[in-house]
């Protein structure tokens, strides 16, 4: 096989390019992760940009609550946001069903509910095996020559359907720039010299949302299994000279992964079809064996100084020295599959504890923007240009270290330092693009507001089970601090880039509320006879199972189960003719089952205090329409304020008890909460005429303003036209 094959015209330098080592790496590396790449090499420019005085700037502040925003504005903390509200409009903004970021931002971008764009949750399910799948991207793995060299490019298939309004605007000659665009991974072509950097759903180098490492000498308080969120915890043992070593786990080995995926698929199909456990045991054994050789790895070394106040970490010829509480600078990392094929990323370290015990956190390895192995930007070289302009920036869509704080591997201070770095990177990106590219349509999402609220809500809710007044005195202003970052960014944008021809929109995709109690929906389904188990103890699952394709619903007897829950508050009927082992007949039986479960959930009372747990249950056939109905949940649970679906339900498990107190630092949420209880917010520098604005209304408003015809299938209406 010749590696020197002529390819398309290289966009970056305008000359004919060969398949270089970089391209080969890209092709191999894409096979390493869970998500894969479309053709990133050949990208056409399309329509020329039109000359236009008008400009639209949209700032997305993820999960900003209108009520909290109003409170902070009234207290005088947010002068720029307040000035915008006084100049134009400030209102609630209706979110999607369910009100989760991938769903809501998709609804915003294609101006349609989920029946059209097909993103109903972070997760969806495989109808043949009942296993959860990532809802936004489907991996398609390549074959390997001699089990070593990837043959051809693997493909990424984005599962979002419908056309984002910026893609449509660019086709009509509007030069657009979308920074941290949600559910836009893998990055796709946008015409008219436009730019796109993918945000939420862009994975880390391993193809997961956040695989961090944690190295610790404290072997008694840690369990060295992968954590619920997929973190890798490794023991550290220092010798007399204060030296220790460990392993960093990189992407999956694509060769063993390929074998594993095939084997697992076979196992899950057999299991769903009711195969005997003896038949499955052999396959399980083979899978365990493959697990042990499943990752590309690199060694890491540690040298603790004699006074135990400083540690030197060595990684691939680089070294960093840290004292307790410090974050290191960024370090490049390369994982080699063989002498030809490697894949680049970057990471950094935080010294959590130095002393008699040593604890070191290593952040998830990010896709390197200088040589990205997945298409994270359009044009393909934009991420590199940005890197050369502003330095390292986290490329992961979910960039904040929420998993590490939730699992108590880092503390609040370290989390906030990291979050501020993310904000600094992202505001630098936005200002640079606005200043240098002068787009007529600009859209950037900041997710720091969402992340800080998830992790710090218990510091502003005195009724939360883990509220602690002394810690609240220290961290109670963290959410406000992040709102103020947004306010300062808005101030800078307004003063430098907004004139009388500019339409300025600031919005959130949904609001927020407290997460005081978790609800095990599958357990409720079992207790009420809708789900039947065949074993006693049900296993707990973690995100490694999800990204590694573990088997789920292990103890569920599908021949007697009528409904099951997975994802964040979704319930599916085990429907005959749709699910592999469906038993509920379509038609009357299906419809009356929906009514029965919805009624039962609404009548359910918290065994602790008698409170109503579920505010509303949305029936899939009533709220969704479009081409993607087969994938739609049959019921969407809308919890009352204070309740949220439990983590284990999200992965399909059945833990004991229906309602449990939430004792975690992840203490605020919006997922699975009734969308009517947590609207988003909308600020605009013009008067909005329409009552009850909805996320779907932004796209037609923007297109009308820019003089671009609105696609017929868009469901929203212009905010400036009264109805």
Question: Which residues sit at the interface with Zn ion, rule CB under 5 A?
Answer: 450
CA-based nearest residue to 652, from 559, 563, 529, 527: 563
**Shortest approach of Zn ion to residue 670 CB, angstroms?**
6
Closest CB to Zn ion among 113 and 453? 453
**Shortest approach of Zn ion to residue 74 CB, angstroms?**
25
Closest CB to Zn ion among 102 and 430? 102
**Shortest approach of Zn ion to residue 321 CB, angstroms?**
36
**Nearest residue to Zn ion on Cβ basis:** 450
Closest CB to Zn ion among 450 and 631? 450
**Shortest approach of Zn ion to residue 646 CB, angstroms?**
16
Half-sphere exposure of 76 (CA within 13 A, CB side): 0
DSSP states of 449-518 as a string? HHHHHHHHGGGT-TTSTT--HHHHHHHTTHHHHHHHHHHHHHHHHHHHH--TTEEEEEE-S---EEEEEE
CA distance 438 to 659: 52
**Shortest approach of Zn ion to residue 62 CB, angstroms?**
7
Closest CB to Zn ion among 37 and 637? 637
Q: In what order do the strands lie in the sheet with 635-639?
A: 563-566, 570-573, 635-639, 614-619
Residues forming a β-bridge with 297: 249
Closest CB to Zn ion among 268 and 672? 672
Contact indicator for 516, 661 with CB cutoff of 8 Å: yes
CA distance 185 to 158: 7
Residue 128: how many other CB atoms lie within 10 Å: 14
Sign of CA dihedral 171, 174, 177, 180: negative
CA distance 315 to 296: 15
Residue entry with tokens 């945000």: 199
**Shortest approach of Zn ion to residue 679 CB, angstroms?**
15
CA-based nearest residue to 133, from 522, 547, 521, 671: 547
**Shortest approach of Zn ion to residue 709 CB, angstroms?**
34
CA-to-CA dists, residue 57 to 194, 322, 438, 442, 492, angstroms: 14, 41, 11, 5, 13
Residue 209: how many other CB atoms lie within 10 Å: 25
Closest CB to Zn ion among 68 and 156? 68
Burial of 711 (0-12, 13-18, 19+ CB in 10 A): middle
Closest CB to Zn ion among 36 and 103? 103
Closest CB to Zn ion among 193 and 450? 450
Residues forming a β-bridge with 304: 311
**Shortest approach of Zn ion to residue 468 CB, angstroms?**
23
**Shortest approach of Zn ion to residue 549 CB, angstroms?**
25
Closest CB to Zn ion among 407 and 450? 450
**Shortest approach of Zn ion to residue 63 CB, angstroms?**
5
Closest CB to Zn ion among 36 and 63? 63
């Amino acid at each position: 096989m010749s590696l020197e094959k002529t390819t398309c015209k290289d966009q970056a330098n305008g000359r004919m390019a060969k398949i270089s080592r970089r391209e080969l790496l890209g092709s191999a590396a894409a096979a390493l992760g869970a998500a894969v790449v479309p053709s990133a090499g050949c990208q056409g420019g399309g329509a020329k940009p039109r000359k236009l005085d008008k400009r639209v700037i949209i700032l997305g502040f993820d999960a900003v609550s209108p009520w909290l925003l109003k409170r902070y504005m009234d207290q005088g903390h947010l002068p720029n946001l307040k000035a915008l509200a006084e100049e134009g409009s400030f209102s609630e903004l209706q979110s999607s069903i369910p009100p989760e970021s991938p769903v809501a931002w998709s609804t915003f971008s294609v101006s349609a509910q989920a029946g059209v764009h097909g993103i109903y949750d972070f997760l969806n399910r495989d109808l043949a095996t009942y296993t959860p799948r990532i809802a936004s991207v489907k991996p398609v793995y390549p074959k390997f020559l001699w089990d070593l060299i990837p043959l051809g490019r693997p493909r990424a298939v984005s599962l979002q359907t419908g056309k984002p309004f910026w893609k449509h605007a660019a086709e009509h000659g509007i030069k657009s720039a979308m920074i941290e665009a949600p559910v836009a991974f893998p990055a796709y072509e946008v015409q008219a010299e436009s730019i796109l950097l993918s945000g939420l759903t862009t994975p880390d180098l391993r193809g997961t949302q956040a695989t961090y490492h944690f190295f610790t000498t404290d072997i008694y308080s840690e369990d060295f299994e992968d954590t619920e969120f997929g973190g890798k915890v490794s023991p550290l043992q220092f010798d007399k000279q204060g030296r220790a070593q460990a392993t960093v786990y990189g992407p999956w080995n694509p060769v063993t992964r390929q074998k594993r995926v095939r084997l697992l698929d076979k196992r899950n199909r057999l299991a769903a079809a009711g195969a005997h456990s003896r038949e499955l045991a052999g396959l399980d054994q083979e899978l365990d064996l493959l697990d042990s050789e499943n990752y590309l790895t690199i060694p890491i070394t540690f040298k603790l100084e004699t006074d135990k106040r400083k540690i030197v970490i060595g990684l691939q010829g680089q070294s960093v020295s840290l004292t307790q509480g410090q974050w290191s600078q960024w370090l490049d990392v390369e994982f080699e599959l063989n002498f030809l094929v490697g894949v680049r990323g970057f990471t950094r370290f935080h010294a959590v504890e130095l002393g008699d015990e040593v604890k070191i956190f290593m952040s998830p390895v990010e896709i390197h923007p200088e040589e990205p192995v997945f298409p994270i930007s359009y044009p393909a070289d934009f991420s590199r240009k940005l890197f050369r302009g502003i330095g390292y920036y986290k490329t992961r869509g979910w960039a904040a270290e929420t998993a590490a704080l939730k699992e108590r591997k880092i503390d609040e201070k370290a989390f906030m330092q990291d979050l501020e770095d993310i904000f600094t990177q992202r505001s630098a990106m936005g200002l640079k693009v606005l200043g240098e590219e002068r787009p007529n349509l600009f859209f950037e999402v900041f997710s720091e507001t969402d992340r800080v609220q998830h992790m710090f809500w218990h510091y502003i809710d005195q009724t939360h089970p883990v509220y602690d007044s002394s810690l609240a005195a220290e961290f109670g202003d963290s959410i406000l601090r992040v709102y103020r970052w947004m306010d300062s960014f808005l101030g800078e944008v307004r003063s430098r880039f907004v004139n009388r021809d500019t339409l300025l929109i600031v919005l959130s995709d949904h609001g927020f509320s407290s997460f005081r109690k978790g609800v095990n929906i599958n357990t409720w389904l079992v207790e009420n006879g809708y789900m039947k188990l065949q074993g006693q103890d049900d296993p707990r699952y973690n995100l490694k199972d999800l990204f590694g394709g573990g088997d789920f619903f292990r103890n569920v007897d599908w021949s007697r189960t009528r409904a099951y829950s997975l994802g964040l508050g979704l319930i599916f009927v085990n429907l005959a003719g749709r699910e592999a082992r469906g038993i509920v007949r379509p038609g009357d039986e299906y419809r009356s089952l929906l009514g029965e479960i919805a009624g039962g959930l609404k009548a359910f009372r918290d065994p602790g205090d008698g409170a109503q747990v579920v505010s509303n249950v949305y029936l899939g056939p009533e709220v969704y329409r479009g081409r993607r109905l087969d994938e739609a949940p049959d019921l969407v649970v809308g919890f009352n304020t204070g309740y949220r679906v439990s983590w284990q339900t999200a992965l399909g498990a059945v833990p004991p008890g229906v309602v449990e107190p939430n004792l975690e630092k992840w203490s605020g949420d919006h997922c699975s909460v009734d969308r009517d209880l947590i609207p988003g917010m909308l600020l605009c520098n013009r008067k909005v005429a329409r009552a009850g604005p909805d996320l779907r209304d932004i796209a037609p408003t923007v297109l009308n303003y820019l003089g671009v015809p609105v696609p017929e299938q868009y469901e929203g209406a212009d905010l400036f036209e009264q109805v």
